[in-house]
Amino acid sequence: MSAQLKLAEPKITMRSVTKRYESARGESVEALAGIDLDVAAGEFLTLVGPSGCGKSTLLNIVAGFEQASGGEVVMDGRPIAEPGPERGVVFQEYALFPWLSVAGNIGFGPASRGLGDAEVSRRVERCVAMVKLDGFEHKYPHELSGGMRQRCALARCIANDPDVMLMDEPLAALDALTRLGLQDELLRIWSEASRERARTVLYITHAIDEALYLSDRILVMSHRPARIRREIRVPFSRPRDPEVRTHETFHRLSDEIWQLLRREI
């Protein structure tokens, strides 16, 4: 990303964001301990951390599914209070509507926002092509493979034209080979969608290589309560070349992240 973007007003700002839960036994559990974070417009930012560290909580707060216990979360100058279509979400479990076809799922957002039938089907057509699901428009989710379901979920998110895409371990449920393929697809789709205007991605994973391959910037999180342990700027140019995985720098960074995470497990 260019230097100008860093100077520009951040897309999302978090200041001392904390989150406490009441556990089933009535104990207070601290999930987030004062998170400060700026996400630049058009940035691909990834949170890496051990399972259950609270990174999903952070994403749910940005999505508006959960409320922070303290601090503030601001997007485009307005505090985030509830879910909204400008923040699209891609879930690990796909969360497709089983009663709708592929086309129905992809068109759900545009139709919900009151766009006309013609515009909805134009968007569906475009997004189906973008995720290469041509010929599967009338299939139901249960008729698709895991990889195809996640493509469909991705298309459903893109079709709604969000500024920010929140992705909670979107590839974690897939087998290793499908995952590698979808990493490239994800980058291609993101850059295609970014041609019209900046699309910011907040991505969660516990796969270090995935984080390095996809992101502009990686934040390594500590164990619960989550703090930001380190920020890593990923130096590889875009579009990403799959060969980058064999670079010496890739391995050095991967090792660095691993050393940080190892202490947290």
CB of 45 to another protein, least distance (A): 18
CB of 41 to another protein, least distance (A): 19
CB of 81 to another protein, least distance (A): 12
Rounded (10°) angle between helices 176-193 and 117-130: 130
Q: For the chain, how long is the longest CA-to-CA vector?
A: 54
Nearer to another protein, 93 or 255 (CB): 93
Nearer to another protein, 74 or 228 (CB): 74
Nearer to another protein, 44 or 94 (CB): 94
CB of 156 to another protein, least distance (A): 7
Nearer to another protein, 22 or 27 (CB): 22
Residues within the interface to another protein (CB under 8 A): 63-65, 82-85, 87-89, 91, 93, 95-100, 108-109, 112-113, 140-143, 156, 160, 166
Residue 249 DSSP SS3: helix
Separation between Cα atoms, residue 123 and residue 160, nearest integer Å:
9
Distances (CA, A) of 215 to 200, 204, 233: 11, 11, 8
Distances (CA, A) of 30 to 13, 22, 241, 245: 21, 9, 40, 36
